[in-house]
């Protein structure tokens, strides 16, 4: 498990850089200080197209597992349908420019200058050709005849990747050992109900549009109202560039067990906002003010639903990605802008493997924002693939005192499990902490069908998303019954023993309650 996950991190980094980093129209110049080594593009093209490894590539290729090498080669040949205007608009945003600039430190022009502009030009030219953008097309369209690959900086990336993989493997070893020990100690009662199946309660769906006049912010909301009085309430916050429809499957499952569900749409960070950027109607995809508006959306919606037949005094908040940040914020986590500035300054000076920092660091542009969004009605948090390590830091997350379930995915490149879930778990102040780890799942595996969002390629979503969604339904339901509805008979479903029973291939599940903090911190310090 650990080796495959480690290589996936390295593969993701190679693919991210590979969008334009490797060869030019004729020559790739490998630069290591005063030393230079030229490789012809023809050799690389022949290898990608035929699979035959040129002799000069043998030492490099020999270091890669055969399965990973085949997958990497196939990915380089895979066309991606993208319009030139979409490339222009995405990389015209501040976040896109930051990413291009970092790539340009490694992928340089023939003169050794930052290759950001050349990379963008190559992608634009490649996107204008029929059949989609491929690695080879970007390579051929790179301005000039030579691409210079700065090996000093490239090796710094590799060194950081290797260190990161070591930390990941050590942390996963600690968690795996704890999972096995907890599973051996625990016994499950007989005749447990099957929470994978829909419950017996009927419900109705109601769509509303609420308007916060103070912020001039309209909020579309979908309610799932079970046919029983004063039901406990769950709020689900979607991620950046997504919509509330992605978690309709979860809302239906919870409602069938008698839980009311509130699905708000966050208008400044939803699928519509992303589409506006792609259509040229907006310039920026990431709006720092959303870090303030999103938690305030939750409070406003709860206040505005006073006339609805739900219990608003005890609420569970579930969130995915940016929604995970939102859930943690209303659960008590405090913004720590000093910590954010420190982390982001270090990233600008060095190597960053955590891509979610591209989403978090724009928060530095906030001017005197509120730092506390705690809503006392929130009695529990389920954070799925959350981001927020830099935004909150250790002192900010220490303020989360309510029961918290964090869900992590081993193939999550957008919000890496180590940085954004495992390490932050050790910072939580809650005496009841759970970590669910889905091996082989991606950042997007938990998203259901969505007619308003941007379609995601199968390779991005990963295998068997229905399995990941099954886990989310069962774990969220059990967590809500125990910590929201206060039904202790559901506690066995939040154990390692039950996770071992629930697990399905090809995405094995681990669940650990109150993971040991000291061994994890020691593993991460190696």
Residue 107 shares a structural domain with residue 242? no
Residue 165 covered by a domain: no
Residue 170 covered by a domain: no
Residue 189 covered by a domain: no
Residue 110 covered by a domain: yes
How far is the C-alpha of 423 from the C-alpha of 393, rounded, in Å? 10
Q: Which of 178, 229, 237, 180 is nearest to 476 (CA)?
A: 237
Tell me which of 132, 158, 184 is where a domain ends: 158
Predicted confidence (pLDDT) per residue in 304-343, tens digit: 999 999 999 999 999 999 999 999 999 999 999 999 999 9
Tell me which of 130, 158, 186 is where a domain ends: 158
Binned at pLDDT 50, 70 and 90, residue 20 comes out as: very low
Determine how many CB atoms are found less than 10 A away from the CB of residue 6: 19
The whole domain housing 101 covers: 2-158
Predicted confidence (pLDDT) per residue in 128-139, tens digit: 888 878 767 777
Residue 220 shares a structural domain with residue 117? no
How far is the C-alpha of 64 from the C-alpha of 383, rounded, in Å? 35
Which residues on adjacent β-strands are paired with residue 235? 262, 317
Binned at pLDDT 50, 70 and 90, residue 59 comes out as: low
Listed in sequence order, the residues at least 6 apart from 333 whose beta carbon sits closer than 8 Å to its beta carbon are: 388, 392, 396, 397, 399, 400
Residue 243 shares a structural domain with residue 140? no
Residue 324 shares a structural domain with residue 381? yes
What per-residue string of b and e applies to 98-125 under the rule 16 or more CB within 10 Å gives b? bbbebbbbbbbbbeeebbbebbbbbbbb
Tell me which of 142, 158, 174 is where a domain ends: 158
Residue 96 shares a structural domain with residue 235? no
Residue 205 shares a structural domain with residue 153? no
Residue 372 shares a structural domain with residue 478? yes
Residue 10: predicted pLDDT: 30
Q: Domain count for the chain, please give it.
A: 2
Residue 180 covered by a domain: no
DSSP state of 107: E
Both structure tokens of 502: 């629930």
Contact 301, 235 (CB under 8 A): yes
Residue 153 shares a structural domain with residue 198? no
CATH number for position 436:
3.40.50.1820
Predicted confidence (pLDDT) per residue in 285-312, tens digit: 789 999 999 999 999 999 999 999 999 9
Residue 129 covered by a domain: yes
Contact 110, 146 (CB under 8 A): yes
Q: Is the dihedral of CA 89, 128, 98, 14 positive or negative?
A: positive
Q: Is the dihedral of CA 134, 137, 141, 145 positive or negative?
A: positive
Residue 300 covered by a domain: yes
Residue 19 covered by a domain: yes
Note the helical H segments in 377-438: 389-397, 417, 423-427
Average pLDDT over residues 473-478: 98
Residue 2: predicted pLDDT: 31
Q: Residue 403 pLDDT > 90, yes or no?
A: yes
Residue 239 shares a structural domain with residue 291? yes
Residue 198 shares a structural domain with residue 285? yes
Phi first, then psi: give them for residue 494, nearest 5 degrees.
-105, 40
Both structure tokens of 264: 């708000």
Binned at pLDDT 50, 70 and 90, residue 222 comes out as: very high
Residue 342 shares a structural domain with residue 396? yes
Higher pLDDT: 131 or 410? It is: 410
Residue 272 shares a structural domain with residue 124? no
């Amino acid at each position: 498990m650990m080796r495959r996950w480690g290589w996936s991190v390295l593969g993701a980094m190679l693919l991210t850089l590979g969008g334009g980093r490797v060869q030019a129209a004729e020559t790739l110049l490998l630069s290591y200080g005063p030393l230079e080594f030229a490789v012809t593009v023809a050799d690389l093209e022949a290898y990608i197209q035929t699979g035959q490894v040129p002799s000069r590539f043998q030492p490099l290729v020999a270091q890669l597992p055969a399965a990973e090498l085949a997958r990497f080669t196939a990915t380089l040949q895979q066309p991606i349908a993208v319009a030139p205007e979409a490339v222009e608009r995405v990389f015209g945003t501040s976040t896109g420019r930051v990413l291009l600039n970092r790539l340009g430190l490694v992928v340089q022009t023939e003169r050794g200058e930052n290759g950001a502009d050349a990379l963008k030009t190559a992608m634009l030219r490649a996107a204008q050709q029929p059949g989609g953008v491929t690695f080879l097309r970007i390579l051929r369209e790179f301005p000039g005849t030579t691409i210079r690959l700065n090996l000093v900086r490239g090796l710094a990336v590799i060194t950081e990747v290797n260190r990161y993989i070591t930390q990941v493997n050590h942390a996963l070893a600690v968690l795996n050992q704890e999972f096995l020990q907890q599973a051996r100690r625990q016994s499950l009662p007989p005749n447990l109900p099957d929470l994978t199946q829909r419950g017996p309660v009927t419900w109705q769906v109601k769509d509303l549009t609420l308007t916060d006049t103070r912020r001039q912010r309209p909020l579309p909301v979908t309610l799932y109202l079970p046919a029983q009085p004063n039901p406990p309430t769950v709020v689900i916050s979607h991620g950046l560039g997504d919509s509330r429809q992605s978690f309709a499957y979860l809302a239906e499952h919870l409602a069938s067990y008698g839980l009311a569900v509130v699905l708000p749409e966050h208008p400044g960070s939803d699928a519509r906002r992303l589409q506006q950027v792609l259509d040229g109607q907006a310039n920026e995809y990431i709006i720092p003010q959303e870090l303030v508006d999103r938690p305030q959306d939750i409070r406003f919606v709860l206040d505005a639903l006073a006339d609805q037949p739900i219990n608003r005094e005890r609420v569970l908040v579930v969130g995915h990605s940016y929604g995970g940040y939102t859930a943690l914020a209303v659960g008590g986590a405090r913004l720590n802008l000093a910590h954010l500035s420190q982390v982001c300054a270090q990233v600008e000076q060095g190597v960053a493997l955590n891509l979610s920092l591209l989403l978090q660091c724009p928060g530095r542009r906030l001017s005197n924002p509120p730092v506390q969004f705690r809503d006392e009605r929130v009695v529990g948090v389920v954070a799925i693939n959350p981001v927020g390590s830099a935004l909150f830091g250790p002192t900010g997350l220490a303020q989360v005192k309510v029961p918290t379930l964090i869900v992590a995915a081993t193939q999550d490149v957008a919000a890496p499990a180590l940085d954004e879930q495992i390490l932050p778990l050790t910072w939580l102040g809650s005496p009841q902490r759970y970590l669910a780890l889905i091996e082989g799942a991606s950042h997007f595996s938990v998203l259901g069908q969505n007619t308003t969002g941007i379609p995601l390629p199968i390779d991005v979503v990963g295998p068997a998303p229905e399995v990941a969604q099954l886990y989310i339904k069962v774990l969220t339901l059990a967590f809500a019954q125990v910590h929201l509805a206060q039904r202790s008979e559901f506690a066995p479903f939040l154990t390692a023993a039950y996770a071992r029973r629930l697990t399905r291939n090809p995405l094995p599940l681990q669940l650990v309650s109150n993971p040991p903090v000291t061994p994890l911190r020691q593993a991460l310090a190696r």
